[in-house]
Chain A
Amino acid sequence: MFIPLSWLREYTDLPAASQEVADRLAMLGFPVAHIVKRPHITNVVVGRIRAIERHPNADRLQVCTIDAGDGAQLTIVTAATNVAAGQIVPVAKLGAKLPQTTIERRTMRGIASEGMLCSPDELALPPEWFEADGIMQLDDSLPLGGDAVTLLGLADDVLDVEITSNRVDAMCAIGLARELAASYQLPLRLPSFENPGGEVSLRARVEIESDDCLRFVAQRFENVRVGTGPARVRVRLALCGIRPINSVVDVSNYVLLETGEPLHVYDAAQVRGGTLIVRDARQGERLVTLDGAERTLGPSALVIADAEGPLGLAGVMGGERSEVNDATSSILLEAAIFAGARVRRTAQLFSLRTEASMRHEKSLAPALAEIGAARAAHMLLALGAHAGVPQVAGSARVQHQAIALMTGEVERLLGLRVSAQRITDDLVALGCTIAQRPEELSVTPPPWRNDLANDADLVEEVARMEGYDAIEAAMPPIAAPEISSREYDVERDAAFTMRALGYHEVITHSLQASAGPHAVALRNPLSDEQRFLRTDLAPALFARLARIGRPYRLFEIGHVFSREEGIVIEVPLLAFAFTTEPNDEPPWRDREFLRCKGDARELLCALTGRCPVVQRAERPGFHPGKCAVVLVDSVEAGAVGRADPRVERASGSSLPLYLAAVRLDRLPERALPHYRPASRYPSTYRDLALLVGAEVSAQSVEAATAQAIGDICTAVRVFDEYRGPQVQPGAKSLALRATMQRFDGTITDEEADAAVTRAVDALQKQLGATIRT
């Protein structure tokens, strides 16, 4: 919200520096997004054009005689065409500083000009909102000769203040001034909230047919002249970023910014039957709103209507039918309070968000209605209107409940010792009324505050007044809680293990464009590119590897989602993938697969303390012949392998892709390793070369060998495989080494040879192997 400092200064004597006020507002909970600096303007006064003559030597110039107050007269030559005798205008005297220029004595075609009449542009106001064609027009509410810069607030900076949704009371000049005055402990000068209306013959009539209208003040005004509003009002609106419209609409916008109460003005002549009715819209009713859109209504919308039909959307926007225009002479003013939720629903229904709806949505205090009407009445009277008696409808004014505040609560929650007297002073400064008992205050919040409901709310008020800076930082006494960090520990250890294995971590989008049949869709995606929750981490890793275009290793830890039988299943997954230089390995061998498998094994060993079992398998996304699953404690913990060639091609990668995916939720707790002393006796080994069928797995050869050798076997490892001209088709040659060792003595050659004989025998019988010699 833009608020000129000059407006706040009207209510309280603030420090001169804008930054100081902005800092104070921030520490009160109203951060200033930025300070709109106003230019330095001096020596511009309010003047009246007494007479105009044509310049004797120039067709385009006119010579004005100006009353500049206190009998001073100035002769000013102007090229403007919108000037006329009697006008009140801003006059820059000699020496005046304007944003673009300094005024000096100039002789224009033989006549000395003693100043300049100012256009809106020259006063740093948007000309399209003012007199675009020439000199700015002031009015006789300003004293002749008065300092226009001060009177109009032209040089005071404007603050762009952010206001949290609970403080709708501060979304106005008076609200912010009230906060600042309380904080600086300064007196607050408020305008009169008494309604000056009273011509009994002018009655407004209201009927409330909905519980969502809490309060409705209607007031009739006659003898209204719709025209250009007073300059002071127009300038303030413009500095707040609101375009001046006409004298009547400007009043309603001004009161909104001044008090926070949204008003609406109806052309009384257009209100059929003379009564304003608040009711649910009827199905199919039509309304043309002020933005020119024709809207078809239904019962969920709350409207203000007359005998003929809807006049406007309650709390959101008025309608064209009753819009005030130049011919309007009699108006009905609405100052109402609607239920916030109802206004929000109505605004959402029509995708309308207005200054009024923004405030109503946050639930305004009922007391505001009368204040808004009173302020508008003062301004309209000053414009010459006659005011009727304000007609108040709706529930009686609800007094806030008193809140009990134990004074000890302040210290308990803040860790800041504040005396009961000080607590009282802080709350009174904010408008609370307090009845004091020992140890406990009975605090009644001021009528304009809707956000104070319990003692914690009051503690915050005390904290704001004392300043959060006053609270000293301390370290809490914490008893170590018995809450497990296991899931996090697994993720962290997994990440650091992958790093050690040479992989780089990425964080990719959880939302994606396409997905399979079980994907979870969003109801309100930002775009079709982000319509589904990811079901897999691999595609994003592949896409990045394809983009990188050189051998690289990536991993990601993240959740994947699917819907099974209507239930959303969410699983924490770790995926790693890498690209390699293209290799020309025979179709029966893939060393990069082994590397991939090895990395998965190291990861799982690190996380679980167990050595995973690897089994051939087929899984979607993987090459059907180069894929395996890894099992930990017989539970399938993940899959590794080369990417399916079709997936690889679709990813755009020119390099081979390898992938592993691990279900972090399926890993058992890490088993503690137990130390087993090594044998003190030397070990021995025997190498074997076998011929087996191509389909016989290395794992089965190792297992059969180990079993046949028995207890003395410490390791069996297949270390070479060969297929080709040296062996017959359908067979392969394997080389393996068996290592043997005893704990109770040195193993003898005879013992080792006998063990190997057993192994050879078993391999022949179980796997049909023959020994190559």
Chain B
Amino acid sequence: MPGFSFAAMSELTEKLASLQQRLARALETAGDERALEEARAVYLGRSGDVAAIRRSIGRLPAQERPLAGKEINDAVAAMEALLERKREEIASRAIDTALSERIDVTFPAPEPRLGSIHPVRRVIEDACAYFERHGFAVVLGPEVEPDYYNFDALNIPPEHPAREGFDSFWVDETLLLRPHTSPMQIRTMQLHRPPIAIVAPGKCYRRDAVDARHHFQFHQIEGLLVAEGVHFGHLKGMLTGLCRALLGPYQNVRFRPSFFPFTEPSAEVDTTCPKCGGGAAACAMCGGSGWIELGGAGMVHPNVLREVGYDPKRLSGWAFGFGAERLALARYEVDDVRRFIDSDPDLLEQLA
């Protein structure tokens, strides 16, 4: 590097000092990492100013050379420190800049990508999950069923008045759309040996006029537990737990005597209205009664156990059949069961 030649130590010292001052000046205007690198190349690079000075050390008397080397190294260290300080300053300024950024976090996010599960399935899913936690299996079955599974095997012989309570859609002489999920009791017990612990959710059909509370197509959740030592208290325990799992920890459950040919004793099961908590006279959900009807339950009738070859003296069991839509109406405070079938995006997204 021409121009950097010197003859004496004093001159060397002076040159190094001037280089340091020039670097310091150059760095004052350096605003980013690239400017730093450029400055570094000019002063400290392979073909930079300091390197040129170092190359000309040879012209000094031999005894001065070590001292000169030390002076150069000190100067390089000082200049590196200068660069480092500046680098630190730039980085910290960049962070300060980043930290000063302010966006409108309330600006809307992109449209949701997640779809939704139908509220009726959600109820069924949560109910089944509750029973699965307690060791029950979940079984599914056909919707078109012979009358044997729907009625005969369930202690409802032909001409039994209870058949009228199941106003069914018939496909032919013996086949019908199941009016309840109870056929799955028979199918399961005929296929498996006790103990039996199942839930059977699914679609059912009855020739009911459609209104806000009724539809000719609905879902039931059937449950069946058959083993030695199973009693009505266990039915109360499990169903109380179910209502609390689905509707909240303060739900109470009421059992009222009723009649079903396939259970004895039989009960209607109600749970406290989750909207008014029971007893608000003007509650639209429960009509002021404080209770929501869930469906029927009871101890499996001895004739049903005999039909599947079980010994009613040794085994006992309970069964229940709840309306999934009833539960969904109460759970999501929906005013009309038809909304579940209309499935407007509005409903699906609100209850997703």
Chain A interface residues toward B at CB < 8 A: 26-29, 31, 164-167, 340-341, 344, 361-363, 411-416, 451, 454-457, 459-460, 463-464, 468-469, 471-485, 487-489, 491-492, 495-496, 498-511, 520-526, 530, 533, 544, 548, 552-555, 558-559, 561, 568, 570, 572
Contact = CB atoms under 8 A, between A and B. Distances in A.
Contacts of B241: 475
A533 B170 contact: no
Interface stretch (B27-35, B43-51, B110-118): B110-118
Contacts of A477: 227, 229
B170 A523 contact: yes
7 shortest interchain CB distances as A-B pairs:
A415-B233, A29-B257, A460-B265, A415-B231, A164-B259, A476-B234, A506-B343
Contact of A487 (B117, B139, B188, B316): B139
11 contacts: A344-B159, A459-B264, A463-B257, A468-B232, A483-B198, A485-B137, A487-B139, A507-B343, A510-B203, A568-B171, A572-B140
A606 B135 CA distance: 25
Contacts of A503: 115
B216 A413 contact: no
A464 B232 CA distance: 13
B148 interface: no
A507 B345 contact: no
Given A29-B259, A522-B170, A525-B169, A473 B230 contact: no
Nearest to A557: B121
Nearest to B202: A559
A506 B349 CA distance: 11
Contact of A415 (B135, B188, B234, B254): B234
A570 B143 contact: yes
Given A344-B161, A473-B240, A474-B237, A511 B217 contact: yes
A474 to B, nearest CB: 4
Nearest to A30: B257
Given A456-B312, A460-B257, 14 more contacts: A412-B229, A468-B256, A472-B236, A475-B237, A476-B238, A478-B135, A479-B135, A485-B137, A488-B139, A495-B121, A506-B118, A510-B217, A511-B217, A561-B143
A484 B264 CA distance: 28
B9 interface: no
A292 to B, nearest CB: 26
Contacts of B253: 473
B39 interface: no
Contacts of B316: 412-413
A576 to B, nearest CB: 9
Contact of A362 (B128, B161, B225): B161
A570 B139 contact: no
Contacts of A464: 257, 265
B268 A31 contact: yes
A100 B90 CA distance: 93
B125 A492 contact: yes
A690 to B, nearest CB: 35
B310 interface: no
Contacts, number: 247
B68 to A, nearest CB: 49
Given A506-B348, A552-B345, A568-B171, A488 B138 contact: yes
Nearest to B161: A165
Contacts of A471: 232-233, 236, 255
Interface string B147-186: 0000000000001011011000111100101000000000
A167 B164 CA distance: 15
Contact of A522 (B165, B171, B349): B171
A696 B327 CA distance: 55
B144 to A, nearest CB: 5
Interface string B100-144: 000000000000011111101100010010001011111110111
B234 A481 contact: no
Contacts of A488: 128, 138-140, 201
B266 interface: yes
Contacts of A474: 231, 233-234, 236-237
A559 to B, nearest CB: 5
Given A499-B114, A510-B143, A558-B203, A523 B172 contact: yes
Contacts of A341: 159
A555 B196 CA distance: 33
A473 B201 CA distance: 24
A413 to B, nearest CB: 5
Contacts of B169: 511, 522-525
A530 B257 contact: no
For B143, B161, B237, the residue with the greatest tally of chain A CB atoms inside 10 Å of its CB is B161
B6 interface: no
B56 interface: no
Contacts of B302: 454-456
B73 interface: no
A568 B144 contact: yes
B142 A505 contact: no
A502 B114 contact: yes
Contacts of A481: 135-137, 192, 195-198
Nearest to A165: B161
B332 interface: no
B190 interface: no
Contacts of A544: 343
B207 interface: yes
Nearest to B175: A568
Contacts of B233: 414-416, 471-474
A739 to B, nearest CB: 28
A426 to B, nearest CB: 13
B207 to A, nearest CB: 6
A552 B237 CA distance: 43
Interface in B39-67: none
B159 A483 contact: no
Contacts of B259: 29, 164-167, 451
